[in-house]
């Protein structure tokens, strides 16, 4: 695991700790000896946590660039003592081996599988069928509902309008969005697609998905509400 800031590798370790500070994904705590601590600038501030105690806060400075309050060390915690937390979004890039990791650390307990299918999937928005296919690709991701990715040839592209919205996923990559205009109304950011997904999600490249909580998605005639 490596962290890069201002063109410098500021941390490089094979021994990160994965700490679940939130339920959805872990945070990396890196052994202090594997971090360039000479770049730390103490702030005199602390960051308090009920589970981890008081954490000392530092800036990270490389040349004329500074990541403010980007470093936290919880010396009161026996489990975390001797480890450093670098704020994920304060760094310019993170790498596992030589592959960049986006958005947040990967959860080793999350799995993504994409299966080809011949199920009949139909998407309805405000009473209008906007997609109808018998060749969807089903994406299964741990703790999330099945997502149905549909080939564009089976989607009413004339009803779609490009959106400026972009999101990122550490398992799938960068998604671009479309709004859907039906019955004179615009439903914003309703469909998304991964033009160049990451390796484990490559089968959904160029396919479109519609969320079951915002559109009516019927699978073999039965509505799937996610």
User: What confidence tens digit (pLDDT) does each residue in 166-213 have?
Assistant: 999 999 999 999 999 999 999 999 999 999 999 889 999 999 999 999
Statement: residue 33 has pLDDT above 90:
yes
Q: What is the mean pLDDT of residues 61-75?
A: 97
Q: From CA 166, how far away is CA 176, in angstroms rounded? A: 5
Name the pTM for this structure: 0.83
Chosen domain end from 37, 69, 101 = 101
Q: Which of 100, 108, 141, 143 is nearest to 19 (CA)?
A: 108
For the four alpha carbons of 26, 29, 35 and 40, in that order, the dihedral sign comes to: positive
Q: What is the pLDDT of residue 149?
A: 98
Q: The CATH number of the domain where 176 resides is what? A: 2.170.150.40
Provide the number of structural domains found in the chain. 2
Tell me: pLDDT of 74 over 90. yes
44 within some domain? yes
Residue 87 and residue 121 in one domain: no
Residue-number span of the structural domain to which 49 is assigned: 2-101
- What region does 44 belong to: left with phi over 0, alpha with psi -120 to 50, or beta? left
Residues 53-61 have a mean pLDDT of 96
> Is residue 200 exposed (0-12), middle (13-18) or buried (19+ Cβ within 10 Å)?
middle
Of 66, 101, 136, the position where a domain reaches its end is 101
pLDDT of residue 226: 86
Domain boundary among 101, 135, 166: 101
Per-residue pLDDT reduced to its tens digit, 209-226: 999 999 999 999 999 998
Q: Give the number of other CB atoms < 10 A from CB of residue 104.
A: 18
Q: Is residue 15 part of a domain?
A: yes
Residues 96 and 128 in one domain: no
Clarify whether residues 87 and 120 are in a common domain.
no
pLDDT digits (tens, 9 = 90+) for 102-154: 999 999 999 999 999 999 999 999 999 999 999 999 999 999 999 999 999 99
Q: Distance between CA 177 and CA 56 in Å, rounded?
A: 41
pLDDT at 51 over 90: no
> Which residue, among 9, 10, 30, has the nearest Cα to 18 in the 3D structure?
30
Taking the C-alpha atoms of residue 87 and residue 21, their distance in angstroms, rounded to an integer, is 12
pLDDT at 130: 98
Tell whether 24 and 120 lie within a shared domain: no
Q: What is the mean pLDDT of residues 25-31?
A: 96
């Amino acid at each position: 695991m490596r962290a890069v800031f201002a063109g410098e590798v500021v941390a490089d370790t094979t021994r990160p700790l994965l700490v679940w500070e939130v339920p959805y994904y872990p945070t990396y705590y890196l052994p202090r000896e594997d971090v360039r601590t000479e770049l730390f600038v103490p702030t005199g501030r602390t960051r308090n946590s009920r589970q981890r105690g008081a954490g000392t806060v530092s800036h990270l400075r490389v040349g004329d660039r500074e990541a403010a309050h980007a470093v936290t060390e919880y010396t009161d915690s026996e489990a975390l003592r001797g480890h450093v937390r670098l704020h994920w979004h304060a760094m310019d890039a993170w790498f596992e081996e030589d592959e960049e990791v986006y958005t947040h650390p990967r959860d080793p307990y999350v799995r993504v599988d994409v299966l080809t299918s011949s199920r009949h999937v139909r998407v309805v928005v405000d009473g209008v069928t906007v997609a109808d296919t018998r060749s969807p690709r089903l994406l299964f991701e741990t703790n999330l509902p099945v997502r149905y990715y549909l080939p564009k040839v089976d989607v009413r592209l004339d009803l779609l309008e490009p959106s400026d919205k972009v999101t990122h996923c550490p398992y799938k990559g960068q998604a671009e969005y479309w709004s859907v205009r039906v019955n004179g109304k615009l439903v914003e950011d309703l469909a998304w697609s991964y033009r160049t997904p990451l390796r484990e999600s490559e089968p959904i490249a160029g396919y479109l998905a519609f969320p079951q909580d915002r559109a009516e998605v019927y699978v073999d005639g039965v509505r799937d509400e996610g």
